[in-house]
Amino acid sequence: MLRQFLAAWLMVLLAACGILSEKTVDNSQWSASKFYIEAKNELNEGNYSAAVKLFEALEARYPYGRFAQQAQLEIAYAYYKDQEQASAIAAADRFIQLYPHHHNIDYAYYIKGLASFNDDQGLLGYITTKIIKQDLSERDAKASRESFEDFKLLVTRYPDSKYTPDALQRMAYLVNALARGEIHVARYYMKRKAYIAAIRRAQFVLEEYPQTPATEEALYIMASAYNELGMIDLREDTEKVIKKNFPESAYLTDSGSLVAKPWWRIW
């Protein structure tokens, strides 16, 4: 019985060794196109780490020519798909620096924007968005700003790029998210009775994001803060702006005056 067990175990080990040996491929004689094709196959199959290794091997073996250049873009994309945002951005930056006039330079900017846009992917992103139900605007706005700037460069420099329409849509979303982020900070200051700070945040929304839905609440926060500070003239002026621009606002009573409840208890 023991002999049979050992024999079976030996067969398993030999089979495992066979499998491992089959996966060890000698690519020392591969051409640049062969490297590229094999790397693309790994990429298309979702084997992103394997794809990166092959693209890097292609670059090292054949550092000049169109395959090496394209490999750098593919590396950025593979890192992005593998949720390695920092590596994706670094790879895209490297391509931009080395080939600023490349015909696919617009794609490098697009990948950079996507990488920052999806900076909340992974386990932490899943927890915050799916379990805690935390909005993008409530998290650190650094990645959102970086993503917006990358997309802005793309649409400004390459307005005819095929990636521009999607970039514009993402920019619109990011602007709204950034504006809501400022509102979250202003709310915090209101709760802490830091009314001057709340006013400054609300004013920032009006100045930097004037066309976003967040402007309505920004005006209400300003009016409420002015009221708390006893600045009646400024409060009344702000109320007039709310009435003119948002006549059906939830922040106004039926008579048109400012809602008297603390703003955080309205909903």
* Per-residue model confidence (pLDDT) at position 19: 43
User: What is the per-residue pLDDT for 253?
Assistant: 82
Categorize the per-residue pLDDT at 258 as very low, low, confident or very high, splitting at 50, 70 and 90: confident
Tens digit of each residue's pLDDT (9 = 90 or more) over 61-89: 999 888 999 999 999 999 999 999 999 99
pLDDT of residue 132: 35
- The pLDDT of residue 8: 52
Average pLDDT value for residue range 208-221: 94
pLDDT at residue 264 greater than cutoff 80: no
Which architecture characterizes domain 31-116 according to CATH?
Alpha Horseshoe (1.25)
Range of lowest pLDDT (82-91, 109-118, 206-215, 257-266): 257-266
Tell me the domain boundaries of the chain. 31-116
Look at 15-19, 99-103, 156-160 and tell me which has the smallest mean pLDDT.
15-19
Using H for helix, E for strand and C for coil, what is the string for the chain?
Answer: CHHHHHHHHHHHHHHHHHHHHHHCCCCCCCCHHHHHHHHHHHHHCCCHHHHHHHHHHHHHHCCCCHHHHHHHHHHHHHHHHCCCHHHHHHHHHHHHHHCCCCCCHHHHHHHHHHHHHCCCCHHHHHHHHHHCCCCHHHCCCHHHHHHHHHHHHHHHHCCCCCCHHHHHHHHHHHHHHHHHHHHHHHHHHHHCCCHHHHHHHHHHHHHHCCCCCHHHHHHHHHHHHHHHCCCHHHHHHHHHHHHHHCCCCCCECCCCCECCCCHHHCC
Instruction: Give the whole-angstrom CA distance, residue 202 versus residue 241.
Output: 14
pTM score, whole prediction:
0.72
C-alpha dihedral (28, 33, 38, 40), degrees to nearest 10: 140
The answer to whether residues 206 and 183 touch, using CB atoms and an 8 Å cutoff, is no
Neighbours of 166 (CB within 10 A): 16
pLDDT, one tens digit per residue, over 119-137 is 544 333 433 344 434 444 4
Average pLDDT for 174-181: 93
Q: Tell whether the model's pLDDT for residue 233 goes beyond 90.
A: yes
What is the token pair recorded at 31? 């051409």
Is the pLDDT score of 60 beyond 70?
A: yes
